[in-house]
A and B are shown apart, each in its own frame.
Chain A
Amino acid sequence: MPIRFAHKPGLVVYLTAGDPSLEGTQAIALAAIDAGADVIELGVPFSDPLADGPIIQRASERALAHGTRLRDVLALAGEIRAARPEAGLVIFTYVNPILRYGLTRFAEDAAAAGADGVLVTDMIVEEAGEYLKEMKRVGLAPIFLAAPTSPDERLQAIAAHSQGLVYAISRVGITGTQRSLAADAAALVERIRRWSKLPVAVGFGISNAEHVAQVAEFADAAVIGSAIVERIEGATPEGAPGAIGRFIQDLRLKETAPIR
């Protein structure tokens, strides 16, 4: 199914799979979708998440301590897909777990689970030959990151090889929360649009309704990661789905009707 944003602004919600538990992630994902998330990014926990700040590092450690494995994350994707057929579903991972699983097997299993796309944090276009071939073979959308530091020739390549959406990194840095949105983001999205007609989602440091409203002025969707993972960390397992659902509802300052 193609990734689409039924709301304006669109919301992409990142969850570290297995934190607080696989069942917990499932309940939170469903609550997030019901509260208006258009796309769920299901994060595969990794031992050495070098693009992530302390909040997602801690979530990854907790998920791994529970024994969360890539095959569990793919099974969880299947459960979410079955329960909410309309939501977008992206597997978000570092490259090593999928290399170890086997690129071909991963592509097949992710597609079979009903994922729409895959984002590999440490996969750049130049290294993506085999990966792109596998994504294409099984019909999964490869999503690449675009950074404020990416020159135009890189954005052009990122746009040419991305499907589903282009993920624009809001600022130079790692994942985490922040007070105000960097001016980098709007300029980057404008540059991406020269090369791509895909929806552009802006992520890294989007923490509150003000940020979401700012992003809505120049992009199609906002990605909320660390701000949600931090709330999951602070909530009880039973309370987390409700807390995340309310948080997501409050992220859109003005209630907007789904675009039909």
Chain B
Amino acid sequence: MAPIILPANPSETRPGRFGVYGGRYVPETLMAALVELEREYEAAKADAAFQAELNALLADYAGRPTPLYFAKRLTEALGGAKIYLKREDLLHTGAHKINNALGQGLLARRMGKKRVIAETGAGQHGVATATVCALLGLECVVYMGDVDMERQELNVKRMRLLGAEVRGVSSGSKTLKDAISEAMRDWVTNVRTTYYLLGSALGAHPYPTMVRDFHRCISREIKAQMMEKEGRLPNAVVACVGGGSNAIGAFYEFIPERGVRLIGVEAGGRGAALGEHAARFRGGAPGVLQGTYSYVLQDEDGQIALTHSVSAGLDYASIGPEHAALHDSGRAEYVAQDDAAALDAVVKLARTEGILPALESAHAVAEALRIAPAMGAHEILVVNLSGRGDKDMGILARELKL
């Protein structure tokens, strides 16, 4: 009898593959759960009642649509392209992460799961997940690296206040990567009762596709708002890229629009050497980390490299597989901005516009500061301001000697 499930090659086109990237590289124990998740997600996507409930929560609870704000003083200060900010920072809980947390939270409830686990780096996904679990009456456990718990202490306290249990992770680099590994170990152990609410466009299929779909509203809104305000599409969309969820959300609807440049900004950290940054396209090579085939910062033996960024949310050794495909096809460009440039961008945006961006989002602002002056006054640049900087006050106070 021929086996029902046939082995395939990475180059074969199938769900969950973005070019050669993506796929499912997980322990067999998780496969049934991933297949179930894929099936339930497809069913929810096609279910008008599910979509209506999600859209109502996105509007009335989270605050969508978010404004597309013309940053007049910043534009004037730079003397080049018109700069618009997509204000995901104004969402409930302070970042774009709530879009995905609401979508997956409703999916968890629909699947009858009572226990939700999540990983978090900067704490924004953890806070969003804790929030949604409180809203839906679900038990919530969030894994967070010890280093990140220290540098994003405020978010740890927010999660606890919301009723979530925050479990510190002391293995490896004690950051996002290790939090994901620990969440996956929990999931492998409790897979029958637990929903893993992954927070970025990472991991095994269907996560990269599902998380992207829940953030697609960002680019859909930008497109409509741009047409309304300017009657045309922007010349470029800029977003920071850790795992890549805000960036893929901001890029997605523009992928077929060849005239729109898509620019992803990675964390350049404090130097070009391996271990000093999180710029996967500058020092990484294709490989498998945590379930997906993508660019990975690694040594010559395939051991995953340490990373550094002033922003916990960008401090990750791999990148969402759809970004790897967009990189290789040339449809999106990826650049890096370092810690110092991100800190400068925080100050610049705070003092010209009165907006305090998250350190993650500040990397995208830094790239806008670099490229806008050379662009013409008729050109339009959209920066996805993925989160607000309140959570970073401790780091900012120290780094900027406030």
Q: Are A and B subunits of one complex?
A: yes
Our pick among B7, B10, B287 for the contact of A100 (Cβ within 8 Å) is B287
Contacts of A98 on B, CB cut-off 8 Å?
A: 302
Instruction: Say yes or no for A145: interface residue by CB 8 A criterion.
Output: yes
The answer to whether residues A150 and B32 also contact, given A50-B184, A161-B3, A161-B7 and a CB cut-off of 8 A, is: yes
- Residue pair A126, B298 in contact (C-beta under 8 Å): no
Q: Which A residues fall within an 8 A CB radius of B?
A: 46-51, 53, 57, 64, 69-70, 94-101, 121-132, 144-151, 153-154, 156-158, 160-161, 169, 172-174
- Residue pair B28, A154 in contact (C-beta under 8 Å): yes
Contacts of A95 on B, CB cut-off 8 Å?
A: 25, 288
- Residue pair A173, B29 in contact (C-beta under 8 Å): yes
CB-nearest residue of chain B relative to A45?
B303
Our pick among B8, B28, B181, B189 for the contact of A146 (Cβ within 8 Å) is B28
Besides A124-B25, A147-B31, 18 other CB < 8 A contacts? A47-B304, A48-B177, A64-B303, A70-B301, A94-B288, A95-B288, A97-B301, A97-B302, A124-B28, A130-B10, A146-B28, A150-B31, A153-B5, A154-B31, A160-B3, A172-B190, A172-B192, A173-B188
CB-nearest residue of chain B relative to A101?
B302
B282-325 contacts to A (CB < 8 Å): 285-291, 296, 298, 300-304
Contacts of A48 on B, CB cut-off 8 Å?
A: 172, 177-178, 181, 289-290, 304
- Residue pair B24, A172 in contact (C-beta under 8 Å): no
Complex Cα spacing A124 to B304, Å: 21
A-B contacts at CB below 8 angstroms, number: 146
Chain B interface extent, by class: 35 or more
- Residue pair A127, B8 in contact (C-beta under 8 Å): yes
- Residue pair A172, B287 in contact (C-beta under 8 Å): no
Instruction: Say yes or no for B354: interface residue by CB 8 A criterion.
Output: no
Our pick among B9, B26, B177, B180 for the contact of A122 (Cβ within 8 Å) is B26
CB distance from B295 to the nearest CB of A (A): 12
Contacts of A70 on B, CB cut-off 8 Å?
A: 301-302
- Residue pair B298, A132 in contact (C-beta under 8 Å): no
- Residue pair B4, A157 in contact (C-beta under 8 Å): yes
Complex Cα spacing A57 to B169, Å: 13
- Residue pair A169, B29 in contact (C-beta under 8 Å): yes
